Structure 1
Amino acid sequence: MDFDGFASRLSEFAARAPAPTAVARVGLGAMVFAAGVHKLLDPLAWSAYVTDWLAPFLVVSPVAFMLVNGVLEVGFGAAIVADRYTSVASAVAAVSLTVTCLYLAVVFVVEGGLFGDVLARDVGLAGLAWAVLVDSLRGRNYR
């Protein structure tokens, strides 16, 4: 197939595809939901992201912290996917991911590059969460 034929087929697909904002919302919600489920299934793996200098600031153990976050993420992720209370749920995701990026940036600098791969990914996810939040606020999706 030549390039023009390929481009034409892509255009036809795009014309029938869901709205990009819906794809972004479902993608963000699925990621938050999946992260929450995984935190519930393996909180010890996620607790590795709590550095020794952060742990004393937590009210609970790192594993308990991840379990609580897992429950919350399952709920917020499901709300985003279901397009219910999207503004609230995506605001929580956007703020949480932004704070996580700030924390990971500090760890990256202080700990000599630790978690740089996670930081790079989470910057994109934070941007996605902010985009979903802005879109939901424009559509006033508080329900």
Structure 2
Amino acid sequence: MDFDGLSARVASASDRAASVADRAPEPATVARVGLGAMVLAAGVHKLLDPLSWSAYVVPWLAPLLVVSPVTFMLVNGVLEVGFGAAIVADRYTGLASAVAAVSLSATCLYLAVVFVVEGGLFGDVLARDIGLAGLAWAVLLDSLRRPTRTP
């Protein structure tokens, strides 16, 4: 086997990958745009189909809401569209990502309670939202570390 030739090909591929990575956006930018796109998409979908999102309101929570589960999702949809757009546009990113981080963390807490009380309900959503909450906190921390941008 030609180990020198293989080594040269691996080195060449590594150099090409490094060149692509050098031209790629900053990881914090990718994280911010990804979080903003997710929040925006969730908001749009809540506005288009609030009934499907109201399924996440378990029967013991519904009486605690001030409005119906569908109305609750519509209000959340409007807010998420605004905050998601702000995050994508990198405007008021600290505020918008703070709202996303706190909201996603609260959602995780709620889903964890439902998971325990309702015998494993929404475990798949909980697993996903833990990662999204972490992403939101990372975007918030990054926005607090960089110089303030004026809109």
TM-score with structure 2 setting the length: 0.90
For residue 53 of structure 1, what is the aligned residue in structure 2? 60
Matched, 1:10 2:22: no
- Letter of the 2:132 counterpart: L
Of the three residues 100, 107, 111, the one matched with 1:100 is: 107
Highest CA radius of gyration, 1 or 2? 2
- Letter of the 2:146 counterpart: G
Matched, 1:139 2:146: yes
Q: Where in structure 2 are there 5+ consecutive unaligned residues?
A: 1-5
Whether the aligned pair in 2 keeps the contact of 1:87 and 1:141 (CA below 8 Å) is no
Post-superposition offset of 1:142: 6.4
Question: Are residues 3 and 118 of structure 1, via their aligned partners in 2, closer, same or farther at CA, if it must alter by over 3 Å?
Answer: farther
Of the three residues 24, 27, 35, the one matched with 1:20 is: 27
Q: Distance in 2 between matches of 1:73 and 1:20?
A: 23
When the two chains are superposed, the root-mean-square deviation of aligned CA atoms in Å is 1.4
Q: Where in structure 1 are there 5+ consecutive unaligned residues?
A: none
- Letter of the 1:86 counterpart: T
Question: Are residues 4 and 111 of structure 1, via their aligned partners in 2, closer, same or farther at CA, if it must alter by over 3 Å?
Answer: farther
Q: Deviations over 1:69-109 (max 9, x none)?
A: 00000000000000000000000000000000000000011
Matched, 1:115 2:96: no
Question: Are residues 90 and 5 of structure 1, via their aligned partners in 2, closer, same or farther at CA, if it must alter by over 3 Å?
Answer: same
Question: Are residues 115 and 4 of structure 1, via their aligned partners in 2, closer, same or farther at CA, if it must alter by over 3 Å?
Answer: farther
Q: % of aligned pairs identical?
A: 77
Aligned residue pairs: how many? Answer: 143
Question: Are residues 140 and 60 of structure 1, via their aligned partners in 2, closer, same or farther at CA, if it must alter by over 3 Å?
Answer: farther
Q: Distance in 2 between matches of 1:142 and 1:100?
A: 29
